[in-house]
A = this chain, B = another copy of it.
Amino acid sequence: MKSLSGRMTSMGRQCTKCDNESIIYQKYSGMHLCKKHFVEDVERKIKLTIRKHYNINRNETIAIALSGGKDSTVLLYILNKIFGDRPDINLVAITIDEGISGYRLDTIQKSKELTDNLGIKHVIRSFADEYGMTLDELTQKQRSYGACSYCGVFRKKLLNKTAKEEGATRLAIGHNLDDEAQTILLNHLKGDISRLVRLDPPKKIEGLTLRIKPLRSIPEKEVALYAIVNELPMDFSECPYAHEAIRGEVRDMLNEFESKHPGTKHSLLSGFQKLLPILAKEYPPEENKLNECSVCGDLCTGSLCQACKLLGYE
């Protein structure tokens, strides 16, 4: 924790809101915050995001995509803090075991520890059971695309299916501010306006569980610090498959710009929020015109879903 909060250059300073020692300096807000006020700040912003963007009603079931990494761990912990005492709201954690040797078993272990501690139902589903092979095996056999392409499509499909089976009305994903700002910037750089709209479809689509991203206004560093100060069980290891190279470049670019112009990630997101309702009228999310996949019956835009295409069906 020392090195992380040290990087945020607030060690030894007093909290802007009380007499306690600060553990973080938020350059974008100009505030030094102690542990108590930092935790309050994060939770207040997440509650605000939920209230402003996601209208959670009575008798909802929220499925949480739980990988065991810092983002989804914090997400589950906070959603339990907000909704855990509500008898009419049901939480269920879903972990997907893609079958990545030397990596996924550790994170599953951590995620189990968390759901056991919190007393939350935990459903674990695997690529092996669902698709007949692990991601490791799949990428050995199919080499047309990178591992991340297969993993993304198949994980999303299995998450959606499991959420539906659990009767979920929402599927919560742990994307933080950095993830969102990177995706927005990347789509601007690519000039891909329709994908920008699909990033946050504003309407519920029949047959699909509505995705929500309660951490979208919290910078990645603060998600990590929140996890550390709350001593949440989690795994910090990285997936052995290389991530999209272009996203790494956008991340570095954005981090450098943010450090010189604090608040840039926030303003990228807020610009996107202004664009979204206007664009959504002209670019209806493609999920609005869905058909059933001719192989597996899942909803998709063409006659075959992306997963069945990747599996080689024609």
- Can you list 25 residue pairs at the A/B interface with Cβ under 8 Å? A187-B271, A188-B188, A188-B271, A189-B257, A189-B261, A189-B264, A189-B267, A189-B268, A190-B271, A191-B266, A191-B269, A191-B270, A191-B272, A191-B274, A192-B271, A193-B271, A193-B274, A193-B275, A249-B257, A253-B253, A275-B275, A275-B279, A278-B278, A278-B279, A278-B281
Q: In whole angstroms, how far apart are the Cα atoms of A169 and B67 in the complex?
A: 61
Contacts of A274 in B (CB 8 A): 191, 193
Tell me if A's interface is mostly helix, strand, loop or mixed.
helix
Contact assessment for A278 and B271 in the assembled complex, using a CB-CB cutoff below 8 Å: no
Among all A-B residue pairs, the 3 with the closest Cβ atoms: A191-B271, A191-B267, A191-B270
Tell me whether A260 is interfacial, beta carbon within 8 Å: yes
A282 is an interface residue with CB less than 8 A from chain B: yes
Which A205-259 residues have a C-beta within 8 angstroms of B? 246, 249, 253, 256-257
Let me know if A65 is at the binding interface, CB within 8 A: no
Map CB proximity to B onto A168-183 as digits: 1 under 8 Å, 0 otherwise: 0000000000000000
* A193 partner residues in chain B, CB cutoff 8 A: 271, 274-275
Which of B246, B260, B279 lies in contact with A261, CB distance below 8 A?
A: B246
Q: Which single residue of chain B is at the shortest CB-CB distance from A271?
A: B191
Q: Do A260 and B271 have beta carbons less than 8 Å apart?
A: no
Which residues of chain B are within 8 angstroms of A271 by Cβ–Cβ distance?
187-188, 190-193
Provide the bound-state CA to CA distance between A282 and B260, in Å: 32
Task: Tell whether A15 is near chain B: CB-to-CB under 8 Å.
Answer: no
CB of A92 within 8 A of chain B? no
Assess whether A185 is interfacial by the CB under 8 Å rule.
Answer: yes
Q: List chain B residues, Cβ under 8 A from A184.
A: 188
Which residue of B has the minimal Cβ distance to A274?
A: B193
Residues from chain B with Cβ under 8 Å of A189 in the complex: 185, 257, 261, 264, 267-268
Query: Which residues of B are found within 8 Å of A279, using beta-carbon distances?
Result: 275, 278
